[in-house]
Amino acid sequence: MRIIIVGCGNVGNMLTKLLLAEGHSVTVIDTDETVIDAVSNSLDCMGMVGNGASFQVQREAGIENADLLIAVTASDERNLLCCLIAKKAGDCHTIARVRNPVYKREIGYIKEELGLSMVINPEEAAAGDAARLLKFPSASAIETFAKGRAELVRLKINSKSRFVDKTLMDMPPDLLTGVLACIVQREDEIFIPNGHFIVREGDEISFVGSQRNLLRLFKKLGLDTASVRSCMIVGCGDTGFYLAEQLIAMGIGVKIFEKDKERCNELSDMLPEALVINGDGTEKELLLEEGLKNAEAFVSLTNLDEENIMLSMYARSVAPGAKRITRVHRVSYDEIIGAMDVGSILYPRNITANRIVRYVRGMAGAERGELESLYRLEDGRVEVTEFRVREASVFKGKTLKELKLKPGILIGAIIRNSEVIIPGGNDEIRERDSVIIVSTGQIRKIGDILA
């Protein structure tokens, strides 16, 4: 597809890389000549210096022949204007990043009136991910499929775990009932394990299954399965606001630290159920005075990655049992953070880019209408996709053990009539099934899993 991206900040740059890797033709527009030169020189794409909200600039970028325009500048209003012009000039699909909470209640109207294909709010999406983690605090990451019927949950294996130094097939039969270990990260290595895989201390294992069966697994491992009852949030911009709003709706007590007095007044009006403290949440004395030692959850959302990392490490030393979530904007910190225990990490840039790529891939296969969900995990080295099977002729009458799958492919689960099935060799893929596929390569349609 021919795609135009307006705005080449963190998200725009990552989107360009991901969409080029998907085989699309990409043109990038930005007002900063230095940024455009850097992108054009490092990536195989065309770059234009100019205002993406200009009809003339869009024409020069080829809007009349474009399939999609994605607007991810720093301004919500400019993003919406870019999409409006693109829709009128090129009648193409449009995606806008809109961050301001003011637009939240109007976004349905805006989307319909401007003909937007998709609206993405990075802060609200990141807050949703954080809220799920606080609902299931023993997990380090959670993704959902089939409208919440199935989940992919990541667990870090410690020295006391029943998994340590055993193969997956050696586990007691009742332990993994209804769940499947589908991804293992061991330091820099990624494995899609089989029954002979030996689990080691420090491994991070992703399990797929229904929420009920995953909860049962965690209980048998002696892990906490109840959501936290209280949470401390340091730094309350838009992400903090959306998170606090969701946590309050879940019945979780919220304590917010915000050093901007005017912002504190706004938060007190918008979130009357929360305790808003006007103070610098990076000060150890204030955190201790407000009960950090007894905190059940600690979320660091300041604007500085370094502060968030240091705060999380300090919270670990003071309240080792607390669930910690750390926001990090720069993905280049990945290797450093990997050697630290900073709890669960939120990468807003990744969340935004991955959701847009999911839409684009679904758009590319719109005639099949198969793709339901797409998650890129472990720095993009593993993809977990959910397909809705519209036509099962390639699988008809064949059990899974009779199918020849490509290397690096695992069928994680089949969702049939609301039931989550962890498939065995005698199961079949049928029409109207939702199928969760774990792969080390790109799967564009369900038939691509076959060799």
Characterize the bridge pairing of strands 253-258 and 204-210: unpaired
In sequence order, the 6+-apart residues with CB closer than 8 A to the CB of 429 are 389, 392, 395, 400, 411, 414, 435, 446
The CATH T-level fold of domain 2-120 is Rossmann fold (3.40.50)
Where does the chain hold its CATH 3.40.50.720 domain(s)? 2-120, 230-346
In this structure, are residues 443 and 451 in contact, taking their beta carbons and an 8 Å threshold? no
Characterize the bridge pairing of strands 118-120 and 93-97: parallel
Q: Which residues pair with 30 in a beta bridge?
A: 49
How high is the mean pLDDT in each 10-residue block of the chain (451 residues)?
93 90 92 92 91 94 94 94 92 91 84 90 92 89 87 90 90 87 89 91 92 91 87 94 94 94 94 94 92 94 92 93 89 63 84 85 63 78 87 80 89 92 91 90 84 79
In sequence order, the 6+-apart residues with CB closer than 8 A to the CB of 238 are 99, 100, 101, 123, 124
Query: How far is Cα 14 from Cα 115, in angstroms, rounded to an integer?
Result: 25
* In this structure, CATH architecture of domain 363-449: 2-Layer Sandwich (3.30)
Query: How far is Cα 51 from Cα 115, in angstroms, rounded to an integer?
Result: 21
Where does the chain hold its CATH 3.30.70.1450 domain(s)? 363-449
Q: Which helix (H) or strand (E) holds 153?
A: strand 150-156
Residue 333 is predicted with a pLDDT of: 60
Characterize the bridge pairing of strands 150-156 and 204-210: antiparallel
Residue 441 is predicted with a pLDDT of: 84
For the structural domain made of 230-346, what CATH number should be given?
3.40.50.720
In this structure, are residues 147 and 377 in contact, taking their beta carbons and an 8 Å threshold? no
Kindly report the pTM of this predicted structure: 0.84
In this structure, are residues 356 and 95 in contact, taking their beta carbons and an 8 Å threshold? yes
Q: What stretches of 207-333 show up as alpha helix (H) in DSSP?
A: 211-220, 238-249, 261-270, 284-289, 305-318
* Closest of 76, 19, 85 to residue 52, by C-alpha: 85
Q: Is 396 exposed, middle or buried (0-12, 13-18, 19+ CB in 10 A)?
A: exposed
CA distances to 153, 159, 195, 212 from 215, rounded to whole Å, are 10, 21, 22, 5
Residue 393 is predicted with a pLDDT of: 73
Query: How far is Cα 247 from Cα 249, in angstroms, rounded to an integer?
Result: 5
Query: How far is Cα 204 from Cα 176, in angstroms, rounded to an integer?
Result: 16
